[in-house]
Structure 1
């Protein structure tokens, strides 16, 4: 029988449409503007006193809030207005100081029954949902200084291996000074350095206090090479860390000679972002100093979990977190948190070399962290905040070496949250050079709401014009196309919500384009039905031929557009990707609704019965 779908096909279409409405529904529940307070140090708990100070800060600033939630170490307070977020953040941060991270957040309002089904709203881009914009500056002076200190250690080792006797090797600013008792030794050292470090130094000779000194200054080209390496390494590390955060469509790119721009759409919660991105956390593995060791060769550090407990460590570093190739958190046989470490070949060789001679001695794992500290100073009679960077080193583990260590071992003595954070930082890579936040902008959700409203208006205007045109030109069939068009929008939103695609302003432009393209297929089908009627076909035959013969044309046209969209997604970035995503999904959903859904409705309306005339406009 012509124009009759089997029951299973009608049920399949009905199920798909019903699921689309369910998974598109969370987008009807906009999130609440909120403030999140988290301890700066992982593993710390949110105390009642801290929570009371948060309330007091908001009350003093006359900011209304509701829906107070505490989950472990995190407190979340929903605000009456998005405009109150930035004032609330400033008031709470001033009250709590640097020991807590105060961040803007968007608290979800999706009903629990939808959440239980795995439904959630679409991810919105920076231009819609707001987010954070960081401008980070690489501390090149600190990095170059560290490289020069590495040269000092390498030169000491190399000269000893070459049996070139020196009096001392010291760092003076951005130079390394080597002192010798004889001029011949200095000449021999200079020849060795020129051969093994070509183009890296500008050597100068001096005679001071009876010593024959060789002063090594880095060349400008070598300094630029170091800076380029540091910036590229930091770019790669930041991208890895952003991936660990799970942010959709982030932007991490170089700006100038020593700056990096990071944009994180949807991250109104900057607490986790700043903690992970800005933390120049690293590890140093050192042996505990032996009794009677010179105080000039040792340093004293306190333990991370007990500031009153200290230990003296050798200044000489066995290896650092830069040699870590993989790190994962887990639990030992006693269910205590641990971090499993894997080293590269260089780090493993160094670890084996040192621990081979240090069995039964204790080795410390030193946690090195660069942290911002806020101070306040008077500027023109107004107290202004000023942020400085401080480096803190503390011992997280001091354990006896039971056997020779190699490329794999474990670190214990951490809390669970600290173990997870340390593993993430090491796994994503250490920053080659420390970085400072020189600019932080929060794109508020009010801007996003305005953009969403303007985008929604454009979609509604385009949709309204299309609906009216289809009704005028195609009557009952136009109504069928209009219903399918509405279903198409629901399917598109549901699909983007399910796979976690990011909606941006260009993405909304893609939806507007999809609205126009979605009816193209129906125009082709309906025009074909009209032609078949003019050629003397019966209404049932005209419907059948119209859908069947228009299919190949529709498929070819949409396939070529889909190929272009895929290419745009593959080679484009940022806004171009957002446009390509919505266009691709729109093509797929429009083909389904224009061919399958409209055919099902047409079959229900006209199929399986005698029809004298079709309400399709024209002269049919």
Structure 2
């Protein structure tokens, strides 16, 4: 006898109603999207009659989750960037020089005078005037080494020092280079994500590809050039001692110094020490503000370590100029008037309000540790995305209609039950995509079309099994019960193998492949649910009302 407990019936109905309710907002995509954007803006403090009107376009008591459209459906920008990890080696050597100099100074009686020498960017060369003290100098420099912070570098230090005549040569060990490369790419990935999130773009795709490449796809943005403006600025902020100032950019700055132009005063150049006192990496906050003359500026605040170094330097150098350098341009060079404790300050310059806001965003998101080389860039217009959506709709409707006709002609009333379950299945797929905030791509639409074809497989197995049981002269109730029971193992086996494939595609793939895997995996889960439970519930309700003596499948 076919039967289904009351609590199971209630649970099946609730799951179907809940899934369809989650999918319902997608039928009014533009209206709900405007409502969501307006609500988000109001929560951030914005207020206007237009925002209030947009927020009222959709009832607050209804679900408002949407399936996010991918780059190929919505239009947007695509970039493939390569992180220039070698840049970090040079900056590491620059930062190391003051430490080496300060460590060797107490040993002058043994090593003599200490001078920085020119050399490759990834090496630090220090010449001592008393070569007989080289062993002691190497011992002191090697004492500055730290353990490599990676699993592959256990027991290895980050720097190595060797002697070449009267010169100490310091460079990074191979293990530290590998660890640095990994940290640099991961840090670049996170900073790019933060910068894009600060601008408020919707559902970007930011993924690592290979050893040093990053894939960036942002739907809804105007062009690849606009995206490059958001993420392409390195925003390396440093605070450097000023050696001199002049109008000649061709003078020799001397070893350990460099020449940088002034941002506010064209034709003016500063000679500054290459090694910064504090860097933007030690910033914990940056906010747009106004200075005492009501001009746009940026307030900043350092962490504990940065505040200590900033305070110590200002206390020891009152009356000396101090350069604030952004991407190798001096944006301000104030004279230190007094000790500045607490690690807070203000950056002034000829900023507009928009420029001060963008600078604060870049500094708050953090400095890119290395430059980016854009290997590939594409802009996908919204018209092309709409064409993809229209093509996907046509493909889905054709597949949907073909399956409905086939099931109706092949199985009659039972085919109608399967068609109802198929409609519920499509709704559940979109409900789950909305619930988890997944991004639908063109391959994702292909996954849905494939699911439409696969969704009735389980019903076909069940109905064919019921036909076989009816041929053995069993009653209709017994035939239906055995049909569901004996088809179960074949249904589970067939769908589990496909689900495993979808999981592998999701784990190993990226971008469009993952989009296909998500819709395929969700489609398998919902199709099995609707075939086993929804069609069974419909058949049971029909059977209990009609009590037929015979049935024809």
In the superposition, the TM-score normalised over structure 1's length comes to: 0.61
- Are the aligned partners of 2:100 and 2:141 in contact in 1 as well (CA < 8 Å)? no
SS of residue in 2 equivalent to 1:162 = helix
- Are the aligned partners of 2:451 and 2:523 in contact in 1 as well (CA < 8 Å)? yes
**Residue 530 (structure 2) aligns with:** 593
**Residue 466 (structure 2) aligns with:** 529
Structure-2 separation of matches of 1:598 and 1:428:
52
Structure-1 separation of matches of 2:120 and 2:482:
85
**Residue 280 (structure 1) aligns with:** 234
- Are the aligned partners of 1:237 and 1:428 in contact in 2 as well (CA < 8 Å)? no
| Distance verdict in 2 for CA 1:249–1:584, change over 3 Å | farther
Listed one character per residue, the Cα deviations across residues 341-375 of structure 1 (whole Å, up to 9, x for unaligned) are 435x6x577457647767x99997936247xxxxx
5+ long unaligned stretches in structure 2: 35-48, 143-158, 247-256, 290-296
Structure-2 separation of matches of 1:8 and 1:419:
58
- Are the aligned partners of 1:303 and 1:396 in contact in 2 as well (CA < 8 Å)? no
Structure-2 separation of matches of 1:585 and 1:243:
30
- Aligned-pair CA distance for 1:565: 2.8
- Are the aligned partners of 1:286 and 1:363 in contact in 2 as well (CA < 8 Å)? no
**Residue 277 (structure 2) aligns with:** 318
**2:195 matches 1:236:** no
Residues 366-405 of structure 1: matches in 2 within 5 Å? 366=324, 368-369=326-327, 391=329, 393-394=331-332, 401=339, 403=341
1:468 to 388, 405, 418: 405
Considering fraction of residues, name the structure with more strand.
1
1:12 to 5, 14, 21: 14
**2:525 matches 1:566:** no
- Are the aligned partners of 1:21 and 1:490 in contact in 2 as well (CA < 8 Å)? yes
**2:116 matches 1:169:** yes
Alignment length (residue pairs): 488
Structure-2 separation of matches of 1:397 and 1:489:
68
SS of residue in 1 equivalent to 2:491 = helix
**Residue 24 (structure 2) aligns with:** 22
Listed one character per residue, the Cα deviations across residues 522-552 of structure 1 (whole Å, up to 9, x for unaligned) are 1222223323333333333433443355445
**Residue 262 (structure 1) aligns with:** 215
- Are the aligned partners of 1:149 and 1:171 in contact in 2 as well (CA < 8 Å)? no
Listed one character per residue, the Cα deviations across residues 182-224 of structure 1 (whole Å, up to 9, x for unaligned) are xx6245358735984786678477xxxxxxxx5x7888x9899
Structure-2 separation of matches of 1:556 and 1:177:
67
- Aligned-pair CA distance for 1:559: 4.2
Structure-2 separation of matches of 1:355 and 1:22:
61
- Are the aligned partners of 2:19 and 2:431 in contact in 1 as well (CA < 8 Å)? no
- Are the aligned partners of 1:363 and 1:400 in contact in 2 as well (CA < 8 Å)? no
Listed one character per residue, the Cα deviations across residues 434-474 of structure 1 (whole Å, up to 9, x for unaligned) are 34657542122344344444444443343333223212221
- Aligned-pair CA distance for 1:612: 2.7
In the superposition, the TM-score normalised over structure 2's length comes to: 0.68
| Distance verdict in 2 for CA 1:224–1:552, change over 3 Å | closer
- Are the aligned partners of 1:397 and 1:411 in contact in 2 as well (CA < 8 Å)? no
- Aligned-pair CA distance for 1:480: 1.5
**2:289 matches 1:342:** no
**Residue 480 (structure 1) aligns with:** 417
Query: What is the RMSD of the two structures over their aligned residues, measured on CA atoms?
Result: 5.2
Structure-2 separation of matches of 1:116 and 1:413:
46
- Are the aligned partners of 2:234 and 2:368 in contact in 1 as well (CA < 8 Å)? yes
SS of residue in 2 equivalent to 1:430 = coil
Structure-1 separation of matches of 2:347 and 2:193:
27
Considering fraction of residues, name the structure with more helix.
2
Listed one character per residue, the Cα deviations across residues 57-82 of structure 1 (whole Å, up to 9, x for unaligned) are xxxxxxxxxxxx999xxxxxxxxxxx
- Are the aligned partners of 2:235 and 2:327 in contact in 1 as well (CA < 8 Å)? yes
**2:83 matches 1:128:** no
